[in-house]
Structure 1
Amino acid sequence: MSFQEVRYRPAFGRTLAAATIGVCALGVIALLVSDPASAVRYVWPILLVAVLAWALFWRPSLVIAEHGITVENVLRTRFVPWPSITAIDTRYSLTLHTTSGRVPVWAAPAPGRHRTLGMAPKDFDGVGETARGEVGELRPADALTTPSGNLAQLIRGRWERLRDAGAFASGVDPDAATQTWHWATITVVAALAAATVIGLLV
């Protein structure tokens, strides 16, 4: 039976990004209509905020697939094959510990303090044993009623089944894990930041 692929992108982040970009678009239009001459100087910080909102809140995503996990963060996208995972953590955000280092998942941060109020033991029912610390403790971010905990459990469940079935016996292929830097985003942000500084100082 094939593994059911899971794609996750936080709805709140997308809503926040869309709202910010919408406000920025209105700001650009208002600036062009009211003072076209000044727009040349002051439009750049508005565009920078819009691009940052898209990169920080719209872009991050997580794909849990049959052969590995794809983590799309702000500046780069990384593919993590199942055998290279050594642990799954939720301390500050959902984080994959791998043979080549840590891979934080921007799309699944740990819940805020207000979200953890009122949690009950039933919120942790079904959490895998590999989630527990040295003395058997669980973090609020491990609760299945939170995005970080729910996604972590999906990953742990698949990883534990593969491990117990001996799928990792052949070891880790060092070439299987990949990463792609978002050079277009980096270039645009750097260019807009430079234009912002120049426009405000000139």
Structure 2
Amino acid sequence: MSFQEVHYRPVFGRVLAVVTDVVCGLGVVAMIVTDPASALRYVWPVLLVAVLAWALFWRPSLLVQEYGITVENVLRTHFVPWPSISAIDTRYSLTLHTATGRVPVWAAPAPGRHRTMGLAPKDFEGVGETARGAVGELRPADALSTPSGNLAQLIRGHWERLRDAGAFASGVDPEASTQRWHWATITVVAALAAATVIGALV
């Protein structure tokens, strides 16, 4: 049976990014039309908000693949092969504990208090044993009805099957895990922040 890849992007985050960027775009157009001279000073913070909205709410994603997991966060993209994973946690967000450190998944934060108040025992049916704490407890974010819990169980299930099949017997290759910084995003944000400060001081 072939492995089914899963690519997750939070819908609410993408909607928020689009709405924010549309509002910022309209604001930029309005400033240029009404007062082009002032726009040169005050357009930069609006553009900064637009870029941050894209980076924070549109970019984050999780790709679960046959040979590993790709986590795209705001400033870095991580690739984590299955053998490198030692635990899957959902305390603050879906987080992969690996041989080289923790990899939080920005696309799958833990649900808020209001979302977890209505949880029932059935929401935790089928959660893997590796999700349980020292005394068998589960976190609200482990509930399968939440994005963090659903994705965590998807990853746990495949990880546990590979482990039980002896796929990790050869050990962990420290060079198999990779991370890539989003230098273009960092540069643009830094430039817009500097332009914002200069525009405010001039």
State whether TM-score is above 0.5. Answer: yes
Q: Give the gaps of 5 or more residues in structure 2.
A: none
**Coordinate RMSD, CA, aligned:** 0.4
Tell me the equivalent position of 2:174.
174
Aligned-partner Cα distance in 2 for 1:100–1:48: 33
Q: Find the counterpart in structure 2 of residue 42 from structure 1.
A: 42
Pairing of 1:131-170 with structure 2 (within 5 A): 131-170=131-170
**Secondary structure in 2 aligned to 1:86?**
strand
Q: CA deviation at 1:171?
A: 0.3
TM-score normalised over the length of structure 1: 0.99
Report the Cα distance in structure 2 between the residues aligned to 1:88 and 1:108, rounded to whole angstroms.
Answer: 13
| Residue 109 (structure 1) shift | 0.1
Residue deviations 1:99-152 (CA, integer Å, cap 9, x gap):
000000000000000101111000000000000000000000000000000000
Identity in percent: 84
Structure 1 CA distance, aligned partners of 2:71 and 2:178? Answer: 11
Partner residue of 1:105? 105
How far 1:30 moved relative to its partner?
A: 0.4
1:191 corresponds in structure 2 to: 191
Q: Once the two structures are superposed, what CA deviation does each residue of 1:5-62 show, in whole Å capped at 9, x if it has no partner?
A: 0000000000000000000000000000110000000000000000000000000000
Q: CA deviation at 1:175?
A: 1.2
**What TM-score comes out, normalization by structure 2 length?**
0.99
Q: Which runs of 4+ in 1 moved over 6 A?
A: none
Structure 1 unmatched runs, 5+: none
Mapping for residues 83-94 of structure 1, pairs under 5 Å: 83-94=83-94
The corresponding residue for 1:114 is 114
Quick check: 1:66 aligned with 2:71?
no
**C-alpha separation in 2, matches of 1:41 and 1:119:** 50
Give the AA of the match of 2:134: E
Deviations 1:54-81 (A, max 9, x none): 0000000000000000000000100000
Cα distance between partner residues in 1 of 2:116 and 2:178: 35
1:40 counterpart letter in structure 2: L
Amino acid at match of 1:157: G
